[in-house]
Structure 1
Amino acid sequence: MRKVLSFVLVLTLVLGSFSMAFAATPAAISDVAGKNCEEAVRVLTSLGVVTGYEDGTYKPDQVVTRAEATLVVIKALGLANSVGTQKSSFTDLSGYGWAEGYIAFATQLGITNGYPDGSFKPGQTVSYNEFATMLVRALGYTDVSLTGTWPAKYVNQASAVGIMDDIASGGAAGANRGDVAIMANNALTAYIGSVDKDNNWSPIIKSGSVARDNIVYDTMIGRLGGNFFEGIIFDTDSSTINIRPYVGKYAEYYTSKADGKGDIMAIAAVKSTAIAGEFDDDNANNWTVAQVFEGNDDVDYKLAADMTDDTEFFYNGESTGTLSPSAITDVEVDLSGKTIKELYSASQWHVDIAEKIDAGDLDDLADGELLGFDFDTDKKDSIIDDSFELIGAKSLSDIKGDNVVYIYSGTDYIRKVAVGTEVVEGKITKINSDGDWIIAGKTYAFSDVADAASSDADAGDTVKVWLDAYGDIFDADVVSGSAKDYAVVLNTGSFDQIKLFLATDSSKVFDTDLTSAEYTAATSPANRLIGYGLDKDGAVDSVYTDDFYVAATTAEIVSNKVFDDGTRTYAIASDVVVFTKDGSDYGVTKLADVDKGTDSVGEIVSFILRENKVVAMIVNEGIAAGSGDDSYAVISKTEASTNAQDDKAYLLTGFIDGKKMSEVYTSSRSTIGEVTTGVAIYEFKYNDDKNVSKITKFTTAPVTGAVSADGKVSDGYIQLASGKKAIADNAVVYEVVFKDDNTTVKEYKAYSGTIKATYNVWMYDTDDDKAGAEVVIIEKN
């Protein structure tokens, strides 16, 4: 007995936290327009289940009380007239006379209970778990008919019958008026049942001639006057709910009249499957068995039977006589796998106008039109929301300037407005074979409407794109780019044209859409290095030379990372665009292939500095003939001669990369001179035939000093008096032998083994990294 009493007390405490009643004021939904709860509030208001407030608001975010929750459930059950003047035994209902009868009736039905102390706490908030429990109990379920513990078993059942659809919140949080309306509206079409002696729930069947499989099931919407009808293809605007999104669909529904011709009160279930795409071209104008509908999901669907008289056709949401298969863009079907068993409806959606809208266009909404097309309006000239479908925005007032708007108009009025609000900016990492852009790992196709942008940008460009309501690109601007965004101005031609030498190693004449100041900046002085941008028509619409421009300089490239003009060192961007200049001729090369020396070859003519990095430059011609790896050598002896072309030819002996060297080098551009005076290393460049194409003295000063402790290359460092100096793992070590004057190099020898204390060293870091010296020269004392 104690266990049973304990269970009853716990159950009473749990169920004692239910109930709600909306203020008895005229229906008003002005503050739910565009919200998720709008349709639910409208339906429940028309059925008398909820009402608004006297100030014309509904207050969807306001949390619901226990008394209010009770009122909603009893009214949704169609039992408001059964409440009568019932009195409750609860002790704390003073001031809640409007709800007392409902509370007493709900308690009698087992939908809710009070607390052990005899109170009901009518002003206490109700949680999502509790309201879900109330609705499930209103459908006839009991504790013993469900498995598990509270609240999970009730919330799970509420989810199973669709009560929790479109509810983002949940749990023990207080349920607000908007969500309570959604949950109650979802419960309208759920079956009401009863529990038998074996604790099994089953739906209650009523008598009736028009119903699902000729059976009428007990539902809240049925009790409130709704008449159930098996499927129809929706083609009417006469409805309590907004029927526009359902036009062409095959669905079960409830209507206000027994003959099915009244207002549609609720959709019981959509039975058709929507597919967007087009019929194949082979049978474009014939309805035949095996006709293929090519879905936008890249799946082909086969028509199983010839068209029947039952198929309905729609053009921009309005019924039409028929459509050619080649014109169809959307179908509603009975689908089995990839087979269309029945074609309920076929629609053609045609965009009448597509624009990236501006603020001035939005002013026209006050007059019931948009982009020159009219909305259906009421007697007060207000736009009738149910006369069109809106996708991509919750309400017309949410449309902003620069949104992409598609208008689909019927015979007289707009039937659909599709609003694209998303703007994406990023680098195009790839353009696939279909021309789609991959930006930040996501693929974007181009809209197929007439005004959509064309694909002017290239992979590597940073772009700003405006997407339509379907996620496709409608318009695009190149913000900044890869190689193609930098160029050398070859000539001006006329004010509306400009000839550029591009980073694609070719020249092209462009139309321009520039201001006078922008045009002057781009073309003065001649042969100027610029950055540029193109509009969607391929005309140059922006130029930039910021932040720095050099007309002439003796700036010397030190490495692939920096160059020095004698005043400061500039960082070079890893994707720097390098133009070469040879007289009046231009070319394009890689930075790694530019000679780095002290003569005029390889010097920077001009550059563009952006965000403190060099992004583009022009250098004097100085390109290695090939892309072979650089090597570093010590030269013991140079023997010079003159060839038939009066070029200087040299026989070089020494070591390169640790191996004996005997190379012939010919050059008309410079001489090596006496290389055996003093310690030095030389950078060798090779052409594709592996012949030496350029020799340059390595000018970066080495680290020098006397070794203070024995060590090996494998130790990773040499100990000098000034500290430890790093050696690269792949370091090559040579021994230098001087002539009697102790300054002129006599020869070099390959060396391995210990670098002992008292040796002198010259340590060269040839690749400007932190790994240490790649070439080490020692002198034994």
Structure 2
Amino acid sequence: MRRVISVILIFTLICASSVIQAGAAGAPDKAYYTDSAVRLASLGVIEPVSDSSFTPEALVTRGQFAVMMVTAANLKSDADALKGSTMFSDVDPKSSVSGYIAAAVNNGYILGMTDGKFNPGGSITYAQICTSAVKALGYTDADVPGIWPKNYIDKASSLKLTEGISFKSSDSVPLWAAALIIDRLLDTNVKKASASDSDKSFADASGLFSQCIILADSVTSDKLGDNEVLTDKGILYVKDKAIKLDLGNTYRLLVEKDTIKASYGRLKYTDGISVDGIADTKISYTDEDGKTQYKILPEKTAYYYNGVKQSYDSLKEVVQTRSSIVFAYNSDRTGYEYAVVFDPVYSSPEVANSYRTISNKIGSIDLSGLSVIKDGALAQIQDIEENDVIYQVSDIWGKYKYILVTSNKVGGKITAILPNKLSPKTLKIDGTDYSFSKNMDFSQLGDLSSSLDVDDNIIAILGYDGKIVSVKYSGSQDNSQYAVVLNQSSKVVGNETFYSVKLLTSDGAIGEYSCAWNTEEFKGKLVKVKKLGSGEADLETVVYNYPTGVYTNKNERLLNSNYVTKNVKIFNVISNNSGEDAVAGILNWSDMPEGRITDGEIHFTGITGDFEDVSVILANDILKEKYKPAIIKDITAQTTDSGVSRYSYTMTVNGQDYQYSSNAAGKIGQIGSVFKLKLSKGSIDGDSIINYGAEKSGTVIQAFDSQRIKIDGRVYWFKNNLSVYQVDASGNVTFKTIADLKSNVAYGKISLYLDKPSASGGKVEVIVLR
């Protein structure tokens, strides 16, 4: 088959008008058919060629039209299957069009000639194209009364397939007209089998593509993931990050099941408006020149909001300051076919704790140069008060912004925690339900199992949507800025010295960060983190107060006479040996010893607030963790000159390998055996090696998270210094992390080693996967 047009040339015709005009003397203005030609080329309906010009007046042959229709109907596989066979004497079965002609005839898109031939090289007539398009939509002779071809030409006209096109029935059809008709055919609804059926376009019915309006993405909807978009056809997944879909526009998408595999480009011309204000249905906005403009929302336009079509009267309730409205023009750009309304985009909230107006920043939000709206009224930065909630609000393009401040709080007694304390979704305060915001920082609550309780009196700080973004209770204080330095390093590049630190932060995470260092020795010490992000840390020393004569009353949450906040951060430095990472963890208040604490076991207590509550504690091996869990990684047997057998062991402690040797009589175990032992000056203390059996074993992990694991219907809690190892069939031992665990996967054996019997509250120190 002669190839018709290349995709490159299709796009060239947009810019190179001299090429179009040279070969299109009788064609209408190129703007009338260019969009259709570009879309058909991107879909492969119009095939590529090697010709150097595009001739919109070139007459389409019957063979070419058969290829176009079969491709548009997504029947290429049928054409491939029928290639090599023909029912017409003038169609070479070996030709590239034979399968397409057979598929087009089999599906009723085109008929043979009265003489029994097909005439593939003859021009397609206007009557034949109109008949083919109407039949492709499912209409039969019974649906189109009258005399052919006038009845089919009239039906094509009523379906708007031939709008702006005027030919006689026997006229040959040029390429520009065929492109317009097929492009419109794709978007025209097929005939319904019954009145109850929903509308479906030809393209949707054929599966060539789905025509979808992009109504929301993860930025504009909390209900969508990063790879999801909401369309008028439902929620779809975007497989390829290279597929970019503008909000509010219409696209032709290749959708398989519920996944977008490809996009064939935007279909609409759109205008985007960021709303400054609205009065009834009259909006004000700022144009590109910075001038205020006004616009009445057109009543004939269809409006979408949150994925649902809206009545015109509801718009005054939906549209607000910094709403974004995307208007999509109709085909002749005389008005709008539809518009999509998007809510303002809210940043993560920041709570104004200890805020001072001398600064123009609250947390990550920069207030500089932006208008401030507080509780619905224009305000100043100086009007922001302690515990106010601050948002930066913008349109979906991030172009126009303002600062929203809310001072909505509710205080009272917790009457219920739903569904449970470990995964709270809602607090019932004095009988009223308040949901937690997705931005709620639960780390401020510390150990959820021992923090919020029914009958506690709290103050809930609410965001703009009435959801809880922060909780103030029993002297809770912001202690998230504390961390312990596990290690430090430096390197010299040229004349510059670069420093880095390894931190255990208050949320229990361990990470490495670059920093601007000084001469102080921070390793193993508590610090304040003034800034943490983008791989950088800005640290500040903490002056220890070394309290003595300390007593704990765990039931009353007292450290001497000071109340210990429920979100207290207790850092416990277990060891700080030279040449290796300091070993530290974070304890819960319930982990602390009861009664008198030996002097020297607490180095620092952070006293905060008007009540002088304790919100931070730095402990020095307060649980007296003399022994560390270890696993045998390798064993090498040797015989000395005197004939004595010795065994050299490689034992892993917290992912670090250590060597230990013993004679034959002192053989301590096999590869994969787990022990407790002490380290002395970076070496294993042989006299300290003791065995402890697996408290629990199984083959399937039913569930796990960062704090616990479930095996055989029982839940075991992790210690902060949990070690995970995997022993393969060859006896190779690999250090793993919690993230490497897999639920509902059959292991050969899963062994849990606890620090003490589970009946006594033991926690998992080591997990071995075999």
**TM-score scaled to structure 1, two decimals?**
0.29
Query: Looking at CA atoms only, which structure, 1 or 2, has the larger radius of gyration?
Result: 1
